[in-house]
Structure 1
Amino acid sequence: MQSLCEAVGAVYHTRQHNDHAKAGNVNAALPSLNGDLIVILDADHVPTRDFLKNTAGFFLADPGCAMVQTPHSFINPDPVEKNLNIFHDSPAEAELFQRYIQAGLDSWDASFFVGSAAVIRRSLLQEIGGIQTETLTEDVETAMKLHSLGYRSVFLDRSQVLGLQPETVTSLISQRVRWAQGAIQILQMKNPLFAKGLSIAQRLTYITSFSYWLFPYARMINMLAPSMFLLFGVMIYNATIDQYLIYGAPYFLATWIYSDFVYGQVRWPLTSDVYEMVQTPLAAIMLFSTLLRPGKRPFNVTPKGEQLDHDFISSAAKVQSVFFGIILLSLVIGIWRWYVHPGERPQLVFTLLWELLNFIIITATMVVMLERRQHRENYRVPAPAGMKVDLELLNGSVLRLPALDLSMGGVGFSRNAWPAGAGQLASVIRAVHLVDEERSIRSDAIPVKSIDGIGDRFGVQFAYVDQQQLQIVVRFLYGHSNQVTALLAARRRRLGFLAAYAYFLVKTGAGLWYWGRFLYQRGRESYLLRNLRQRRRYDMGKAVRRSRRYL
């Protein structure tokens, strides 16, 4: 890293200890900086080339502007998206916060720093003593401090940074628990309701943003309340069917309609429920300890770029299986009570429907608990519009084909686009040129290392010779924010209420089939291994008996 910094003219700054993690690193470097603005990026975040062009102007227009925050966008699936196989055909989970909540906060001058993909005015950051370090969410704490002094923030709703999400369930939970603990620390140690300098709107928005992270307790009540009636007869909803149809059903229907109308393009039914349930059991325990002792806690960096070479069951599955068992048992007992106690049917109608919805949520959560293997080192993204690939053939001719996708490791194109009579792919391609027809850009030749194909797609793997060739691919992959915007827009679409539920049920069903195959294969491997061990013991015993006979 130090050699790379020297090569590109950057200053490599280090220190003897790692106190306060990233916040401490930034604060240690502050005295040696002299620029007006500071760009803060996580190690796994890559900005587009027009990042500063799109953000710096806000500071020129407003001397009181302390910070410009841009959305976080991701190139890889998180464990929920990967294990449920919903990454490519459903909206990104972060879109609701990045596109709607932050934009709403910005209208009240309350959008906050989220740790990366942001530009901060150096003089104002130094005025407050650097990045704040009293809580685990040092980014939000810093934004609240700047807001309390009357400085303003801007949220620019334009995705200009691509990063990595956690690859495993435990990594995801670790990341979200840290965010939740930091939010609770701020509520207890620096309560926005009583912080000096904040406007009423800022106090309310900060309180609602932080209090959201108490959701594990609401989620546990929501998941277990129907079981209290179905298993123990504890009345949780004392109403007749007519009363529910008059009062309850319209409320839920209005909620679904409103949610779909406001943010249906980026959040479908059941998505939030599954994400919350994945986190709830372990987060509830950690949050309780934070509520009791909100003081200093260690900052654990979220693992990124993990490679999973085999399927395995997450360690978080144990506690989720308890919830699954309780809800499944409740449904069975509820059906039994429907026939044995007909007088309870008005209450059973509501609780059984509620429990059925909980069963769908917990089943999808159990699907997520089976970690699917992930071999890919470089994640593919759909090729930008207008991008082509010039294939340089061994006979000297050049064949131009539309690119399907691109990664740091190679480029993909359609087998159907390969003309008949051009020869075998693997034997005639020598090098590739990346072409952007919209901007009239054609790269130098990049040698080909290997070619592979699956179905109708062929992939060419790059064999980089020097750093310049690597930079060429980076420019095509992260060249312009329009590419990132198009990548996210391709996943946004509105899906009707019933269609969204059907989509989730299909994905959950496919996940259960994957679970079944996994358990069958593991059971078969265990059976074969047990037989092999028994055979070895038998052969060893037979050999011992034979040797004794000779002796």
Structure 2
Amino acid sequence: MKGKGIIPRLGTPVMVILWLMLLAPILFLASVPTSIAVQGLLSLVTLGLLLILKPFVPISLPLRFSMLAIAGFFTLRYWLWRLTETLPSPEEPISLAAALVLFGAETFTVGLFFLTALVTADPTEPKPPARLRLKDAPTVDILVPSYNEPDELLAVTLAAAKQINYPKDKVTVVLCDDGGTDQRCNHSNPDIARESKARRVRLQALCRELDVVYSTRARNESAKAGNLNSAMKNLNGELFLVLDADHVPSRDFLARTVGYFVDNPRLFLVQTPHFFINRDPIERNLALPETCPSENEMFYTTIHRGLDRLGGAFFCGSAALLRRRAVDEVGGISGETITEDAETALDIHSRGWESMYLDQAMIGGLQPETFASFIQQRGRWATGMIQMLILKNPLFRSGLSMTQRLCYLNSMSFWLFPLIRMTFLLSPLFYMFFGLEIFVVSSTEVLVYILPYLLIGFLIQNSLFSNVRWPQISEVYEIAQTPYLLRAIIGTVLRPRAASFKVTVKEEELDHAFLSPIFLPLLGLALLMLAGLIAGAYRWVAFPGDRTVVLLVGGWNLYNFVLTSYALRSVFERPWRLVKPRTAVSVPATLNVDTGDARTRPLSATIVSAGSKSMVLSLEGDTRDSDGKVVLNDTSIGNAIEICPSLPNAPDMERPLPATVSSVKSGIDGMTLTVDITRKNMIPASRLAAYVTYGDSSRWTYFRKGRTKRRGLVAGLAFVLHRGILSMPRNIFDLLSEPARRKAELQMDTDLPIRESSNVVPVREQPADPAAKTSDDEEGYLEVGS
């Protein structure tokens, strides 16, 4: 059983040999011709075997290989059947051209299936922390690149970086500010120049107060790669940790990662997962349940562990520790493409260095808040990966192992999905609109070839990713992105060096419902699918002899329309405020309330949310003082208070924090108090927020593993189809009511709907100076902590 020592873990060469040994009999069996009846029986047997094996796939490596081999056999058999028996005659060149486009897309998905099977067949097991002697601890630079992020966001990230558990004389935190460069400060636009100068002054002051190094440069060249390279010219740490401006690290980040570099001198990278404290806009706008795993979990929980097994774990831009010597060997962070992270990993891998993926989330980041920002981010990723595929194709890159080539090819090729997805969406319309014969097939062949092939694909996806992705949710995500990313992909293919880096906006304020300004392409796609249904209805009436074909192709188009209708919900921005968000805490505190009579009254409270600009506290008991006077009530807005948190193991956090009451809500369980923090007190508030909210990585482990609920294949399909059908009238209503809603919003503010989320994860404190601890053998080790 996997992970229990009954079978040995397979090394990369052994696994490749096994795949090659399996390939020969699979190819032979797949090419054997059979009758329709035999093929039907074969389909039933194949589906039956996969259903029997499915429950054991997560726990048994041999059975997982068996399931993939069976699915691979049927997939190849389907592909050979499509190639040899279903393409139209060359005497119909237009139909043949349309059919070849569809067959080409299917061929791509078949190839990607085998690549994905190779990557995900045997993901690495969780790794224990590598113990690190304090005397062996290498020097580390922590780099936080920034461009246009708010000061308050940067303050929390930098404060958390300063709190990381590591010998203080061996770590340097650097803010790499690309928003205050000389080029921007001397910009021809006076508004840009003025704001850039002011930003530089503010951030320099922020860095002085936090004891952080401020770095900027003369010109904004090569985007993030150039920013990091410029900062590193003045640094000499043996390792460096890259953190996006919104990626707040936990205190145990270096304690869990640095030891691997000491143990393995050829290791250049330890990549960790990106965990997000908010939901992405598609997840939110589709109203997916909180128990539905986030999109990125499929990559960070399963796929990247598979890449790690094959030696292809790559740099994801943040939450990663790198060896400076390896990066210097390739001339610094690579900048030929706009995906500098994966490109850097590719360049270093080709020099023979090794990488590692550690499946332990130790940062809390922010997803883009709006659909437009989400699309901008994904467009940058897609563009960069296609640039790499064209300019630095891994298949022809010397120095890479065969499995590394396949890993990179798999990761890059995935981003061609807009071309493939659009082909699958438009193919039924070739027949509905123009009567083109996109494949030659009977209804019986549909039942014994096409339907089993689709079901097998769904079964494999659900088996490999059942813990991290519900069935068909990824298809909805892809459809939502397709009309936007398609243009970026085509533009990159035509002009691979013309792409420009666009920074994703973070910490946007989504305080009201609205229709995304980029809604038209996705709406147009949905209307096109609807037009296909209307054309199908016309063909049903006008051409009675073609009703079998209309029924088959129309069913495909109907399925596409349902998924597209559900995906269209992504453009209707709907803010949800969670009562207990992922950053909820439970920290005892004392409130000193200024009642205006030259006296302060202490009250017991609990901090339930901490940030650099505001905090939320709950008071369950009486809000009267010892004299019986009411200290806080619904009229206390504007009152000055002091927050005194109780953190015995972090005495520097217990200093009084001045604040002003901005909201008071009374309920049966007590009172909820929201307070504002002035910029003057932003630094102590940021330090407190970094410690109590982001300091313990076990919080993110809890959400990644404890807040997911499996959905079987049937339940998952039913969920998506049901949501898709319900979305049709909702889409019409929201589109028609948008003008009236906009007019109403100009006249009044709207309250945010509230949704329940997860339970609070208690704050687990660490000693004030864990690095000073020693083990029983008096050999000083860096403690992991949480």
TM-score normalised to the size of structure 1? 0.84
Cα gap change, 1:91 to 1:391, in 2 (>3 Å): farther
Give the match for residue 413 of structure 2.
211
Q: 1:543 maps to which residue?
A: none
Q: 1:325 to 1:469 in 2, by over 3 A?
A: closer
2-structure distance, mates of 1:4, 1:313: 37
1:143-542 to structure 2, matched below 5 A, reads 143-338=345-540, 341-372=543-574, 380-383=581-584, 387-390=586-589, 392=591, 409-411=614-616, 426=634, 446=657, 449-453=661-665, 459-464=672-677, 466=681, 467-505=683-721, 507=723, 509=726, 513=730, 516-517=733-734, 519-520=736-737, 522-523=739-740
Structure 1 residue 235, shift from structure 2 partner = 2.5
Give the deviation of 1:149 after TM superposition. Answer: 0.7
- 8 A contact 1:310–1:374 mirrored in 2: no
- Would you say the 8 A contact 2:492–2:498 is kept in 1? no
Change (3 A) 1:243 1:27: same
What SS does the corresponding residue of 2:322 show, helix, strand or coil?
strand
Kept after mapping to 2: 8 A contact 1:112/1:144 = yes
**TM superposition shift of 1:233:** 2.2
Distance in structure 2 (CA, Å) of the matches to 1:303 and 1:358:
32
| Contact preservation (8 Å) 1:380, 1:407 | no
State how far apart, in whole Å, the 2-side matches of 1:13 and 1:420 are: 48
Are the aligned partners of 2:204 and 2:214 in contact in 1 as well (CA < 8 Å)? yes
Matched residues in 1 for 2:372 and 2:508: separation?
Answer: 12
CA distance in structure 1 between the partners assigned to 2:343 and 2:488 by the alignment: 20
Paired position in structure 2 for 1:542: none
Residue of structure 1 equivalent to 2:183:
none
Aligned partner of 2:733: which letter? G
Report the CA distance between 1:316 and its aligned residue: 2.6
* Cα gap change, 1:252 to 1:94, in 2 (>3 Å): same
**1:106 Cα offset (Å):** 0.5
Query: What letter corresponds to residue 460 of structure 1 in structure 2?
Result: L
Provide closer, same or farther for how the CA distance between residues 331 and 407 of structure 1 changes in structure 2, counting only shifts above 3 A: farther
C-alpha deviation, 1:435, in angstroms: 6.3
Where 1:449 maps in the other structure, the secondary structure is: strand
Deviations 1:408-428 (A, max 9, x none): 532366x9x668999876479
Matched letter for residue 615 of structure 2:
G
Distance in 2, Cα, partners of 1:431 & 1:515: 50
Task: State how 1:3-42 maps to structure 2 within 5 Å.
Answer: 3-42=205-244
SS at structure 2 position matched to 1:39: strand
Q: Distance in 2 between matches of 1:405 and 1:375?
A: 13
Kindly indicate whether the alpha-carbon contact (under 8 Å) linking 1:75 and 1:162 is maintained by their aligned counterparts in 2. yes
Once the two structures are TM-superposed, the CA of residue 505 in structure 1 deviates from its matched residue by: 5.0
Partners of 1:498 and 1:440 in 2: how far apart? 54
Q: CA deviation at 1:485?
A: 1.5
Name the amino acid aligned to 2:343.
Answer: E
Q: Distance in 1 between matches of 2:323 and 2:384?
A: 24
**In structure 2, C-alpha distance between the alignment counterparts of 1:491 and 1:267, rounded to whole Å:** 13
TM superposition shift of 1:228: 1.8
Q: Displacement, 1:296?
A: 4.5
Alignment-derived partner of residue 88 in structure 1: 290
Please tell me whether the aligned partners of residues 603 and 623 of structure 2 are also in contact (alpha carbons under 8 angstroms): no
The yes-or-no answer on 1:45 pairing with 2:250 is no
Q: In 2, Cα distance between the equivalents of 1:96 and 1:455?
A: 40
1:122 and 2:122 are equivalent in the alignment? no
Match of 1:138 among 328, 333, 340: 340
Code of the aligned partner of 1:495: R
After superposition, give the CA deviation of every residue in 1:493-523 in whole Å (9 maximum; x if it has no partner): 2012343344435655369537625632624
Check whether the contact 1:71–1:159 (CA below 8 A) recurs between aligned residues: yes
Q: Which amino acid aligns with 1:471?
A: R
Whole-Å separation in 2 of the counterparts to 1:491 and 1:237: 44
Distance 1:390 1:194, change over 3 A: same
Distance 1:456 1:354 in 2: 53
Report if the CA contact (8 A) 1:167-1:305 is conserved: yes
Alpha-carbon displacement from aligned partner over 1:138-185 (angstroms, at most 9, x marks no partner): 111110111111100111111111112222222222222222221122
CA contact (8 A) 1:132 1:139 kept: yes
The answer as to whether partners of 1:96 and 1:267 remain within 8 angstroms in 2 is yes
Task: Provide the TM-score with structure 2 as the length reference.
Answer: 0.60
Contact 1:392 1:431 in 2 (8 A): yes
Q: Is the 8 A contact 2:225 2:335 kept in 1?
A: yes
Distance (whole Å) between structure 2 residues aligned to residue 525 and residue 48 of structure 1: 42
Q: Output one character per residue of 1:459-491: Cα deviation in whole Å (capped at 9) or x when no partner.
A: 432344733343122211101111112123343
**Measured at CA, do residues 313 and 281 of structure 1 come closer, stay the same or move farther in structure 2, by a change above 3 Å?**
same
**Paired amino acid for 2:675:** F
What is the one-letter code of the residue matched to 2:443? I
1:66 equivalent in alignment to 2:249: no
The answer to whether the Cα contact below 8 Å between 1:367 and 1:512 also exists between their aligned partners in 2 is no
Q: Which residue matches 2:37?
A: none
Separation of aligned partners in 2, 1:261 and 1:437: 47
Aligned to 1:547: none
1:463 & 1:526 partners in 2: Cα distance? Answer: 31
* Contact 2:284–2:576 (Cα < 8 Å) also in 1: no
C-alpha deviation, 1:239, in angstroms: 2.9
Q: Which moved more, 1:468-477 or 1:455-464?
A: 455-464
- Matches of 1:12 and 1:321 in 2, distance apart? 46
CA distance in 2: counterparts of 1:133 and 1:44, whole angstroms: 22
Equivalent residue pairs, number: 523
2:382 and 2:718 map into 1 onto residues whose CA distance is: 32
Residue pair 1:238, 1:347 contacting (<8 A) in 2 also: no
Structure 2 spans left out of the alignment, 5+ residues? 1-202, 594-599, 747-786
Shift in Å, 1:367: 1.4
Q: Is the 8 A contact 1:307 1:375 kept in 2?
A: no
Q: Deviations over 1:167-207 (max 9, x none)?
A: 22222222222222211221222111111110000011111
Aligned-partner residue type, residue 673 of structure 2: V
Counterpart in the other structure of 2:303: 101
Residues 569 and 727, structure 2, Cα contact 8 Å, conserved in 1: no
* Alpha-carbon shift at residue 454 of structure 1 (Å): 9.3
Q: Which amino acid aligns with 2:217?
A: R
- Over 3 Å counting, the alpha-carbon distance change for 1:514 and 1:187 in structure 2 is closer
CA distance in 2, matches of 1:277, 1:79: 14
Aligned-residue Cα RMSD (Å) equals 3.5
| Paired residue secondary structure (1:12) | strand
**Corresponding residue number in structure 2 for 1:541:** none
Deviations 1:228-249 (A, max 9, x none): 2223222234333332222222
The question of whether the paired residues in 2 share the 8 Å contact of 1:51 and 1:160 is answered with yes
Post-superposition offset of 1:110: 0.6
Pair 379,65 (structure 1): closer, same or farther in 2 beyond 3 Å? farther
Could you tell me how far apart the structure 2 residues matched to 1:489 and 1:327 are? 38
Contact 1:20 1:133 in 2 (8 A): yes
Percent sequence identity over aligned pairs: 35
